[in-house]
Amino acid sequence: MSRLSERPTNPVVGQEIPHEAAALHVTGRALYTDDLVGRTADVLHAWPVQAPHARATVTALRTDPAYAVDGVVRVLTAADVPGVNDAGVKHDEPLFPTEVMYVGHAVCWVLGETLEAARLGAAAVEVDYDPHPAIVTVREAIAAEAFQGAQPRLERGDVEAAFARSARVLSGEIEFAGQEHFYLETHCSLALVDENGQIFAQSSTQHPSETQEIIAHVLGVPSNEVTVQCLRMGGGFGGKEMQPHGLAAIAALGSTLTGRPVRLRLNRTQDITMTGKRHGFHAEWRVGFDEEGRLQALDATLTADGGWSLDLSEPVLARALCHIDNAYWIPDVRVNGRIARTHKTSQTAFRGFGGPQGMLVIEDILGRCAPLLGIDPAELRRRNFYVDGQSTPYGQTVRHPERLVTAWDSVVAGGELERRRAEIEAFNAGHDDTKRALAITPVKFGISFNLTAFNQAGALVHVYKDGSVLINHGGTEMGQGLHTKMLQVAATTLGVPLHRVRLAPTRTDKVPNTSATAASSGADLNGGAVKNACEQIRERLAQVAAGTLGVHPGDVRFDDGIAHAVGGAGEQIAWDDLVERAYFQRVQLWAAGFYRTEGLHWDSSQMQGSPFKYFAYGVAATEVEVDGYTGAYRTLRVDIVHDVGDSLSPLVDVGQIEGGFVQGAGWLTLEDLRWDESDGPARGRLATQSASTYKLPSFSEMPEVFNVSLLEHAHEEGAVYGSKAVGEPPLMLAFSVREALRQAAAAFGPEGTSVDLASPATPEAVYWAIESARAQHAADRATEHAASAGMTLGDHAPAPEQPSDDAPRLRPDSEQVSAGVTAGAGR
């Protein structure tokens, strides 16, 4: 067992403790960035001047009228930027644009003594525009060949030869929507400049180091003149990985020019209309199966809706391609990727970072094709699982595939799936207008940043003379419990009680050059760094203790605030006493820790390598009930078994699994982003701008029975204390909800019905899927009636209502069977 993953006796990690700030959260005492405004004197407030066009050239900008508004102090424009007028890492996001690229794009910013003064000042700014044609949908971008960034290809084997030997070849397409982050705390920054010209920015950011870099870039100063702190975030989900940088730069620029603190907080409408979302995707696919339903080949083209600039679209697309296999062995693969440029917000990171989009494609394929192959969907999935020795299309060996089988079998047995399927069959036979279904789906998700360089972290640990411990690491807390885990890691490594350890806010002047808290790697990376720092201190203290205990330093153990010899016999030294002795012996009581993930390599130009430290596995089974008149549905029961290795903090991990599942179900069934696609003056405007029009999961969507278990005996070698990441993988467990809805809709048709189900699968979308199934039922009955009457439909009987163009159909295709299955976006 590696030193990184080995756990000592009586570790604090693995204990079920609440979130470190839970009491502060529920009592309202937890401070967020905007709460600091009331503690800061002479704050100015920022408000944007937003463009009403999806694409237009700014031909004139008149700011003088704003200064006539009482309380307006300054209008920020491109002329005020001392550095580079750009807020993106790809240098394609002008902070003050001369061409607006989406409805709501900020042209300039007004600073006022009050928020109302800034708002009125922004309304007084006069802007002339020259509108241009805009591309709003991904299909429009494909037709116009409007693409941006790299166009990667993932390829293994001979796809055409594999199709030639396949018993069945099916093809189709799917388009599915993105998702609004809708974190409780909207974007916020508070910047001030001290007497030496140093910029201090408080920001709700997942990536303080990059926020620091962009501020310095815009102001034309070195990074050591900028400090960024993230106290905590009220949710992030990836939406605060890149998007906060430009907003913090605006606040810092305003503070630099006025000499006063500047607060920039987006209200909900501004946040939704100005910031990026999960990428929507369009996919065309062709898939081959052998006689037993085993996957033989996949040929697909994935087009991500990137919005107006690249942001993180390239790595999002790369991860989508790397996850199109999900948990399934596909011998021959060819997947092409491209990024559409549309005149909408610049789409960005969102929990899963492209992985859910890629996995949705293969899950949709299997869900669509199972009835056409005459195989139960669960059996089709199980039959195609990876086995030991197989590798992904990009060349990484799949380790521990047996864990997925164990999780699957645990859900089947623990959830009593066989008994419940029999009950569902009986229920459906007795109910013509209500149907139930039960679906089970797997998850295999790679953990690490695709870009190898990002897989590093730092930490700073102080032990004070009284024995108390302060830790600072490069990760940020957004409610996911990272700080809780880091406290447990530190207490375990030092061998002290948890209450002796405190954690300081994340700051770039404490731990520099950090990676974003993203890619589910926060605990892996920062936990490794914290552990490294604590080990340095512990080894120094072991030298001190060894002299008193009369043993070799390697035989000193630390447990619950006591230093003793291995075995526990003999003299003991209290932690506080040992620390005091170390101080008087002039032993260093602080350490900077560092961690880099080993064993990673990735060639993005060839889409080959081993980009992930390990794979996280999970299985979910969901039972739903669907109303045939309205398409409305209820989630009756969910059973989950998820692999988190040896959990660092079980309560936190279970909460992450539950939250991730619900957020995934929201993306797949409820959250329907809609932009105006008309040719009128509102073209490109986001129509779903608030919680009144954008439906989020609530208690009413929670399953009536919700069982979550952690996979047992799942120690992960080479990871901090044997644990695994938990942030993103559970979101994909929600595929089981969508597949259960598909099966319930198909139950309104004849056996073997394959239905198109849009994503999100709103009640409206489910209703149309039901109608498609019913149409197939009617067509089959009419055919039977005509046959029994000795007629042909064309000559002697009225034709039944035909299924829509999107309904699945079988047709001969040479010696193969091809199904022209398509899945629209339900628009």
Place of tokens 């080949």: 297
- Least Cα distance to 100 among 445, 446, 335, 343 occurs for 343
Residue 696: how many other CB atoms lie within 10 Å: 13
Distance, CA of 522 to CA of 477 (rounded, Å): 9
Q: Are 263 and 295 in contact (CB under 8 A)?
A: no
Closest by Cα among 193, 197, 199 to 212: 199
Distance of CA 674 to the CA centre of its chain: 20
DSSP helix/strand/coil, 628? coil
By C-alpha distance, which of 615, 611, 681 is closest to 445?
615
3-state SS class at 281: strand
Judge whether 225 counts as a catalytic residue. Answer: no
Where do we find the tokens 């048709």?
749
- The rounded distance, in Å, linking the Cα atoms of 6 and 559 is 15
Q: Which residues pair with 709 in a beta bridge?
A: 641
Of 588, 593, 478, 589, residue with least CA distance to 527: 593
Element (H, E) at 596: strand 590-596
Cα separation, 517 vs 205, whole angstroms? 9
> What is the edge-to-edge ordering of all strands in the sheet holding 99-100?
99-100, 56-62, 126-131
Tokens read off for 302: 């994935």
Angle at 716 (CA atoms; ends 714, 721), nearest 5 degrees: 110
Rounded-to-integer distance, Cα 758 and Cα 764, Å: 9
- Yes or no: say if 134 and 62 are a contact pair by the CB < 8 Å rule: no
CA–CA separation, 57 and 130 (whole Å) = 5
Identify which of 460, 500, 474, 682 has the alpha carbon closest to the alpha carbon of residue 588.
Answer: 460
CA 445/CA 620 separation, integer angstroms: 14
d(CA 112, CA 132): 32
Which one of 20, 241, 477, 728 is the catalytic residue? Answer: 728
* DSSP state letters, 655-705: HHHHHHHHHHHHHHHT----B--SSSTTTT-BS--STTTSPPP-GGGS-SE
Known catalytic residues?
728
